[in-house]
């Protein structure tokens, strides 16, 4: 049997998940910020070069809409068991003659390496089917794997059908299996629903094949947590905690200091540079990249953002923004989407910036708001400054431009659209309604020019 044959996959995602008590289909509940079924597909895809079929049922349209392009979809019209679900997928694999890997859509912690181990063992062993098992402390509710005297596979017995002796078995079937497509198709036609649930179990395929002398292989997962299914909110929290543990351990092994893992959350796709320190109550969500030698926290929440090297962020929120090297942010600052900070920018207490570009070395002092602004280099934004980017009755947001070296006094209101020229100064409490020439000093309500700062100095 060739070991390089293309593999297809079937992911079972039709379950209602009644114990979740949710309007959202079970497999769409997120773990690590990503729907469970998508995490399964993420791990599966590098191992499966052939077609992938997701079997949907409850909440089919929502599940279908969440799936990536290229994934085939099969419909299970009623919950008649895992064997019936795989039968529903077979028409989508009519053009496939190689092995078929089957997985559950509610097992988001299975690693790519584990799927690869099952497929490799199946191909090397020349098996008709290969199943993934694990040993758990409490096997209640799970199918027991029965072995012979020499450790060979005998069968899988569902929990509801176990004898008292079989209930004491701690090795269980995980739901992951690899099958020769021809053997799978034939075996599925012989499944019967002679069990306590009256359903067609995929586990019956293993027993049917063995009874006819076919070889059934076993691969045992070393960690039961990896193959845990998520069927309730409690199990969802357990899966979340396990994924967080993996992520933080990976970061710590790469040179990141996590002061208190119990109070630190980092999404699995987040990248953090060497010698960065994550303090308690730091949350880094999907799409975030953090450079080296940063200190984040305590109390920092970042998502969808890029943070440069040697950045300090304290008790602040950063969303869909770019922060240059050597910036200082917080405490209690908020960078909203579209914010771009160059190097050495300081954003102080209770400052808020939205959809704005701030030049190198600029200081945005406390209790200030910059919205839809372009700010140059080495600008001082005094405390209480506001860019008034919205006018009553005028649609859209209006821009403010502050050129290099300007000094914006405390409590200045910049009534956009407006431009403050290079080196200009606004007095405290000014309301700027017109463009300020370069080097001018303006004060008052509305602000008016009172003098000009000579080029190359502040004047007298």
Distance between first and last Cα of the chain: 91
Question: Could you tell me which of 77, 72, 40, 73 has the C-alpha nearest to residue 57?
Answer: 77
| Angstrom distances, CA of residue 251 to CA of 79, 257, 315 | 41, 8, 22
The Cα–Cα gap between 239 and 250 comes to: 17
Strand partners, 323: 307, 341
Characterize the bridge pairing of strands 216-220 and 380-381.
unpaired
**Cβ-based burial of 229 (10 A; exposed 0-12, middle 13-18, buried ≥19):** buried
Which residues touch 149 (CB under 8 Å, ≥6 apart)? none
| Angstrom distances, CA of residue 282 to CA of 174, 248, 286, 408 | 34, 12, 13, 33
| Angstrom distances, CA of residue 279 to CA of 115, 253, 294, 299, 314 | 35, 17, 11, 8, 9
* Residue 136 burial (CB count, 10 A): 16
The Cα–Cα gap between 456 and 301 comes to: 42
By annotation, the residues acting in catalysis are: 366
The Cα–Cα gap between 53 and 34 comes to: 19
The Cα–Cα gap between 76 and 84 comes to: 8
Question: Could you tell me which of 336, 320, 295, 283 has the C-alpha nearest to residue 33?
Answer: 283
Angle formed by the axes of helices 203-211 and 82-89, to 10°?
A: 90
- Yes or no: say if 191 and 201 are a contact pair by the CB < 8 Å rule: yes
Is the torsion defined by CA of 211, 217, 220, 226 positive or negative? Answer: negative
- Yes or no: say if 315 and 331 are a contact pair by the CB < 8 Å rule: yes
Alpha helices in 321-360 (DSSP H): none
Token reading at 430: 């000014």
The Cα–Cα gap between 10 and 105 comes to: 10
* 3-state class percentages of the chain: helix first, strand second, coil last, to nearest 5: 20, 30, 50
Token reading at 205: 């395929």
């Amino acid at each position: 049997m060739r070991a390089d044959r293309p593999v297809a996959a079937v992911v079972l995602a039709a379950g209602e998940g009644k114990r979740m008590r949710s309007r959202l289909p079970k497999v769409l509940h997120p773990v690590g910020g990503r729907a469970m079924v998508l995490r399964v597909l993420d791990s599966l895809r590098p191992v499966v070069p052939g077609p992938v079929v997701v079997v949907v049922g409850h909440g089919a349209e929502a599940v279908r809409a969440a799936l990536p392009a290229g994934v085939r979809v099969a419909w299970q019209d009623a919950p008649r068991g895992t064997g019936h679900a795989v039968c529903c997928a077979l028409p989508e694999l009519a053009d496939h003659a190689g092995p078929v890997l089957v997985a559950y859509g509610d097992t988001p912690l299975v690693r790519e390496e584990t799927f690869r181990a099952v497929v490799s063992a199946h191909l090397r062993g020349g098996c008709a089917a290969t199943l993934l098992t694990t040993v758990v402390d409490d096997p209640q509710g799970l199918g027991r794997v029965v072995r012979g005297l020499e450790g060979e596979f005998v069968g899988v017995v569902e929990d509801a059908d176990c004898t008292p002796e079989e209930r004491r078995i701690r090795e269980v079937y995980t739901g992951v299996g690899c099958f020769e497509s021809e053997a799978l198709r034939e075996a599925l036609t012989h499944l019967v629903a002679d069990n306590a649930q009256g359903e067609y179990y995929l586990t019956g395929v293993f027993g049917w094949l063995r009874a006819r002398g076919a070889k059934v292989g076993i691969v045992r997962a070393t960690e039961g947590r990896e193959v845990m299914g998520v069927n309730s909110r409690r199990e969802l929290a357990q899966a979340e905690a396990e994924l967080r543990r993996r992520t933080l351990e990976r970061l710590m092994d790469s040179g990141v200091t996590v002061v208190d893992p119990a109070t630190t959350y980092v999404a699995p796709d987040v990248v953090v540079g060497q010698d960065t320190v994550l303090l308690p109550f730091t949350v880094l969500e999907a799409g975030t990249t953090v450079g080296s030698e940063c200190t984040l926290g305590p109390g920092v929440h970042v998502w969808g953002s890029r943070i440069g090297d040697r950045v300090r962020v304290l008790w602040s929120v950063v969303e869909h923004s770019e922060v240059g090297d050597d910036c200082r942010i917080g405490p209690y600052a908020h960078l909203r989407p579209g914010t771009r900070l160059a190097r050495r920018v300081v954003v102080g207490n209770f400052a808020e910036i939205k959809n704005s570009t701030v030049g190198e070395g600029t200081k945005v002092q406390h209790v200030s708001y910059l919205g839809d602004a372009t700010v140059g280099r080495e600008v001082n934004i005094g405390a209480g400054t506001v860019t008034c980017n919205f006018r009553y009755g005028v649609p859209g947001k209006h821009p403010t431009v502050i050129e290099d070296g300007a000094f914006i006094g405390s409590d200045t209101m910049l009534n956009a659209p407006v431009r403050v020229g290079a080196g200009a100064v606004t007095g405290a409490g000014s309301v700027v309604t017109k463009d300020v020439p370069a080097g001018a000093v303006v004060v008052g309500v509305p602000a008016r020019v009172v003098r000009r700062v000579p080029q190359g100095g502040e004047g007298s």
